Amino acid sequence: MRTRPLKVALLGCGVVGSEVARIMTTHADDLAARIGAPVELAGVAVRRTGKAREGIDPALVTTDATALVKRGDIDVVVEVIGGIEPARTLITTAFEHGASVVSANKALLAQDGAALHAAAEANGKDLYYEAAVAGAIPLIRPLRESLAGDKVNRVLGIVNGTTNFILDKMDSTGAGYQEALDEATALGYAEADPTADVEGFDAAAKAAILAGIAFHTRVRLDDVYREGMTEVTAADFRSANEMGCTIKLLAICERSKDGTSVTARVHPAMIPLSHPLASVRGAYNAVFVESDAAGQLMFYGPGAGGSPTASAVLGDLVAVCRNRLNGATGPGESAYADLTVSPMGDVVTRYHISLDVADKPGVLAQVATVFAEHGVSIDTVRQQGKDGEASLVVVTHRAFDASLSGTVEALRKLDTVRGVASIMRVEGE
């Protein structure tokens, strides 16, 4: 074993960063044995000094992150500060000054992953980011290494624990959205401002990363269709249960049947209770992968939190340090396929549409005619009426999103349709 330690700079010392530092200290001997050399925490960059950080030598703490990554003796930079800047500049500066990088920054990778990979390659360094998607769940490495010889056709997953907790609570207790969100906040699952989670921004960034790796195509955050879950109601869950389904906020990345394009999207969807993702409860994450040779694979576990995320960071740190010792680098960006990223209008799926209609003869015929005129085939219809008003639930066969949009617009113009109560996609067939 080499006795000279590999030096690690840690950018950020919050929930994840402090846990990374703790594990590096408490598991130092095991890490050294696995890597083939000891690893040494050489510096910790934070916004403000003066705060006691258990287990970290105060002499290592600095507010000058730029000077830390420029030192030249740093072997690996671990970036867990998040956001776009200064993280982007710090990472590229680290490459330029001889360090490889381990990051958990999903937002930055989804927006500028191609540029970061190019900077890593130009400087002959590694960029690893297992912790950017689904916390402790090994997912990035299986997709880009274990399945490198296979053809991935679909990635379908629950990649945000906060939203899954809220939807699971709504399903299991009959609670409304706000009530479930309040409980998630009280338990620490939801931030004071939950927008990034409940509006799908967090999941969309992860979907961009997953799609890019799975399909060997550059997929940016702007390419991902995003729809939040704030409009999901207890009534939607009742309808889902009547169909033998539940509702999840899903990240869905698909290759087209002809293999020439891909789509990436995040939105609430009904999935059958028989699907493995339907049983994912609480704040857990799970990702379902479908490929030609391996078939169906499912990855499941805690998707956030200090310890789970730090576990993924340390796994990358071990891999990068091993590469460093061997004078090698691991897999970089693979975007050779360069497939077209299609818009949401080209997506084909089933739909569940709930309409408030007048309770009188001929309504169903009018509604059916609109669907037929727009080329959308109806699978099932359920109607309930009372005191001159009725609820009409239509479940379609698979149809283009653009066709369904035109159908709904035409339905709204019918005198007998009082309103469109909800529209939800049905996935996981």
Q: Which residues are catalytic?
A: 206
Question: CB neighbours of 303 closer than 8 A, spacing ≥ 6?
Answer: 134, 135, 136, 137, 158, 159, 160, 161, 283, 284, 285
Residue labelled with tokens 């309103």: 419
Distances (CA, A) of 335 to 113, 134, 144, 176: 11, 22, 11, 43
> Measuring CA to CA, which residue among 332, 266, 260 is closest to residue 114?
332
Partners of 382 in the β-ladder: 393
Q: Which class for 267: exposed (0-12), middle (13-18), buried (19 or more C-beta within 10 A)?
A: buried
Enumerate the H helices of 266-379 as residue ranges.
306-326, 363-373
Report yes or no: 92 and 103 within 8 Å, Cβ to Cβ: no
Residue labelled with tokens 């950020």: 12
Partners of 299 in the β-ladder: 287
> Measuring CA to CA, which residue among 172, 198, 201, 200 is closest to residue 185?
198
Using the Cα atoms of residue 298, residue 304, residue 309 and residue 311 in order, give the sign of their dihedral.
negative
What single-letter amino acid sits at 388?
G
